[in-house]
Structure 1
Amino acid sequence: MKKTILVVLLLSVFIGYAQKNNGTVYMEHPTIDVVDQFVKASVAGDRSKMGSYLTDDFKAYNGTSNNQNDKGRDKEAFLNNQMVYHDQLDYYAIETYPGSYADAIEYKKDNPDKEVWVQTWNIMKGVQKNTGVKIDAAAHRLYTLTKDNKIKTIIGYDNEGVIDEIRASFADRTNGTIYNHHENINTVRKLMYAMENNDWDKTYSFYDEDVRFLDSSSPTFESVSLEEQKVVDKQILDKFEVTSIDMVGYPDYLHYEMGDARVVQSWWNINLIRKADKKAIILPIHYLMDFNKEGKITSETAYYNAKLLD
């Protein structure tokens, strides 16, 4: 019994020391209203009104920067940056991230000036006017407000990737090479004509064992394995006979610089006879096939009108 009492007392002491209040968190506060009005002025492109919410010694910082000597943007530089968003984005909007709300935090420790931190979670939206790049990105901001409700500091955590894409899109650049003759194109032709001649062992030999198949007519667009695709193929062959396969145009092999992707795109007419009534059907089909370095197909996406097979 004494041991039990001692343990309870020790736990009480530990909990008392482990939890220590350092201020108050508010979900409603005048500083939250100020931040909300500032954001609305930003979206509206009202530079003067934005500036009225900022202190003269205002600073803005990039929360994702690795620069330990970052001195931040001053008031004028920050306002210029905010106007870039307004001026260069169609459909510009800043919305509250679903399920979130702003917090105002007034710390006790090391806060002699009674400053309040406001943290927000948002989604920034828009379409860059020149490049057509769409922004639909989460953003997190920390605001420091003075006791007279002026914004002294903003630390932003934003998606830099979409901004990099906008910058890159102002200049033309290549992204690899397109071939109209290549070994991977040869592979696709051999595969299709093995299919035409009902040589399914050879057809399947061109695929990597971990290949995934996607069907544009699938309502979920979920991929299936090679073994699952064999079942699908058998179901089709039980109902239809392949009489011939005709290439439409010519295949392209695209070797992308970004991501080192290897893709053959091709167009075909598959001529079928429906076994039930001997009706001839032409099935136009477009394939996208991804290849690995070994020349095996790792992914196949088929685009066609499934209604033709009803």
Structure 2
Amino acid sequence: MTTQTLTQDRLRAHPRQRRRLRVRLRSLGPLALLALVAGLCVQAYRLCLVEQLQAHWQNYRTGDTAPGRNVWLPGYRVTIDAKPIAPGLRNLSGITYDYDHDRLLAITNMPMELLVMNKEGDLEARYPLVGFEDTEGLTYLGGNRVAIADEDQQRLDVITLPPREQAILASSAQSITLALGLSHNNKGFEGVTYDTRNDRLFAIKERDPQQLYSVSGMLRSIQGPLNLTVTDLTAWVERGRYGRDLSDGYYDPRTGHLLLLSDQSMNITELDEQGRFVSIRSLRSNLGGLQQDAPQAEGLTMDKDGNLYVVSEPNLFYQFQKR
């Protein structure tokens, strides 16, 4: 396994580089040094580095305060690290667990396809998505139904998976549009996850600003009279800035907790039923045990055994298991 950590031996082996660095720093004037420090501080703020380090320290200091009632992300280790799903596959942007068939479903947005995979990340089937606009996330609703998040339109499309590989038409979907906090810079709904027990779907807006909504009565309204309740849960993600953006989420039915994925900050955070911070896991090489940083983590889910899955653009698959 490679590592990006520079050891003391390597530092001692490059005294000339250290001297060059000292000369460069001395050549900078006070204003230039101040600008450099200010730039580093701004970058740290943008990536929420201070908040992330505080969260990691809190987990290390307290440990799991409610074993069995938390997902507890620090307890997970990498078991499949950056496995390419298929040659030529790109723009992998979401993943969900199909508990009816004990398999994984994923989605791409250029070209737009729904993929069927096993839990080892092997591709088994591909369904072209026709007439959709910008497919970014998906979640399994049960009974072969899947909700797809359309980022540009801030629309949730519910489709039924055909029994065989074939095109899935947007015209056959039932949909709901949440035109809330519309953005014209491709920063709409990036992720979606579903709470089966309470028929509650969480829609996740990436940033500018980060937003989180729950839509209750989703399946009941599709199957019968319209009765939807939309709740703004944005305060949950504003309370603790652990991610620069929000790429996806997963609602864990065993704990009632919500996992949120950040691509830019390269982490996953766990929130409880009230949106309070519980735990954090890094997707960086030095903190997360990966061979390399996850380049652009876009999708997140868990299976019935509690295994955790992440997908990253262009076509990388990660599996994590509890120690």
What is the TM-score of this pair, normalised by structure 1?
0.20
Q: Which has the higher contact order (CA 8 A, sep 6+)?
A: 2
Larger gyration radius, structure 1 or structure 2: 1
